[in-house]
Amino acid sequence: MPTQPTHATLSPLRSRSASRLFLAALFCALSLFIAACKEQPAQNQNAGAQPTPAPTPGVPFDGQRAFEHVRKQVEFGPRPAGSAELAKARDYITGELRSYGLNYSTDAFQPQTPVGVRQMVNITAELPGESSEVIIISTHYDTKLFKEFTFVGANDGGSSTGAVLELARVLKARGQKPRYTYWFVFFDGEEAFCKEWDECKNPNGEPDNTYGSRRYVQQLKEKNETKRVRAMILLDMVGNKNLEFGRDMELSSQWLVNLIWDTAYGLGFNKQFVNRSESVGSDDHEPFLRAGIDAVDIIQIQNNPHWHEPTDTLDTISPASLKIVGDVALASLPRIEERLQSRSR
């Protein structure tokens, strides 16, 4: 509600302009109300010294669509790397990408794991931009293997996969060629087969996790394409009803963390993007950082009671949370592009 109009403190001579002011304020309040009803992201309320994030024109991120992608994946059941259920999820993902009109490629590989050789497949969809230089938006789509309980990974694997699919749809549907080329990457084999991610190593000394992203970066190196990738954005566990991301201050490129968190504050999401450090450990952004590629992980691992628990189920996920993440990502992209252009090689 607007506060008491200021005309009470004005002289009678100025009352006409005061009432005009009041009408204008009323009109603004009404416009804001209508905008809120349409669920458009509130614009920059407290961005401080940061420039106002560009509005996200055209097609909005649909939290409900992202949520339906999570539901579909959960319906397939547990989806560890190499399973028939993950193959179904893969068919679902590629079917969606095709329906958006995006070209995609798959890369099958067979790494050694502590439970033997497993078949894994990375998926990459491409949205060509004015520049052939690339911004990657990524997720893992496998779920962690548990023998002692059923683990469907609604949040861990499902939520970020749903969000990246919806981001791919929206960016393609907007119909404008972006400044940079976008790769939407779905990594296989992020999860360790041993209970903890750092519990065991493979006979060849390789870690028992991040199979897909390590393979991906290895291929970039072989094709001499690491320099082509200018930034990598990783989403992981982004659908909790109780959404709260801390900042990855150990590994992620801090300019990307700061830019995304400032954008979130500008949109009014201070409660969801909080100012504390998140202890991330190893995740799919790590191989990229080791190869000199700027990368950021948006992940809720602390304050997440369902992490690697049987309770990581659909009822803990909300379309509203997915939409917040989608809106922050979409509002951050133009600012990331600008920053990259200003430091272009």
Site residues (CB under 5 A) for Zn ion?
A: 144, 156
The DSSP element (H or E) to which 274 belongs, if any, is: strand 273-277
Q: Residue 335 and residue 331: Cα distance in Å, rounded?
A: 8
Strand partners, 201: 207
Of 44 and 209, the one with the shorter C-beta distance to Zn ion is: 209
CB of 212 to Zn ion, least distance (A): 13
* Separation CA 114–CA 136 (nearest Å): 29
Question: Whole-number minimum distance, CB 139 to Zn ion, in Å?
Answer: 11
Shortest Å distance, C-beta 301 to Zn ion? 9
Nearer to Zn ion, 53 or 189 (CB): 189
Beta carbons of 166 and 62 less than 8 angstroms apart: yes
List alpha helices for 121-222, DSSP H.
160-173, 211-222
The burial of 252, by beta-carbon neighbours within 10 Å (0-12 exposed, 13-18 middle, 19 or more buried), is given as buried
- Closest distance between Zn ion and the C-beta of residue 75, in Å? 19
CA distance 45 to 158: 31
Q: Tell the residue number behind the tokens 């509203």, with chain if given.
A: 320
Nearer to Zn ion, 244 or 309 (CB): 309
Question: Which CB sits closer to Zn ion, 81 or 330?
Answer: 81
Q: Which residue is nearest to Zn ion (CB)?
A: 156
- Transcribe 9-75 into DSSP letters: GS-GGGHHHHHHHHHHHHHHHHHHHHHHHTTPPPP-SS-TTSPPPPP--SSPP-HHHHHHHHHHHHH
Minimum distance, C-beta of residue 344 to Zn ion, in the bound complex (Å): 35
Task: Find the shortest distance in angstroms from Cβ 159 to Zn ion.
Answer: 11
Closest CA to 51 of 247, 259, 252: 259
Q: Is the CB of 156 or the CB of 208 nearer to Zn ion?
A: 156
Q: Yes or no: say if 113 and 163 are a contact pair by the CB < 8 Å rule.
A: no
Instruction: Specify the residue, 178 or 212, whose C-beta has the smaller distance to Zn ion.
Output: 212
The SS3 call for residue 313 is coil
Q: Which residues, 6 or more positions from 193, have their beta carbon under 8 angstroms from its beta carbon?
A: 80, 81, 113, 114, 115, 145, 200, 208
Polymer length in residues for the chain: 345
Centre a 10 Å sphere on the Cβ of residue 56 and count the other Cβ atoms it contains.
Answer: 21
Q: At its nearest, how many Å lie between Zn ion and the CB of residue 267?
A: 27
From residue 253, how far is each of 97, 289, 295 by CA, in Å?
29, 8, 6
Smaller CB separation from Zn ion, 189 or 319: 189
**Shortest approach of Zn ion to residue 240 CB, angstroms?**
13
In the bound state with Zn ion, the residue whose beta carbon lies nearer, of 142 and 166, is: 142
Residue number with CB closer to Zn ion (301 or 322): 301
Q: How far is the CB of 191 from Zn ion (least distance, A)?
A: 5
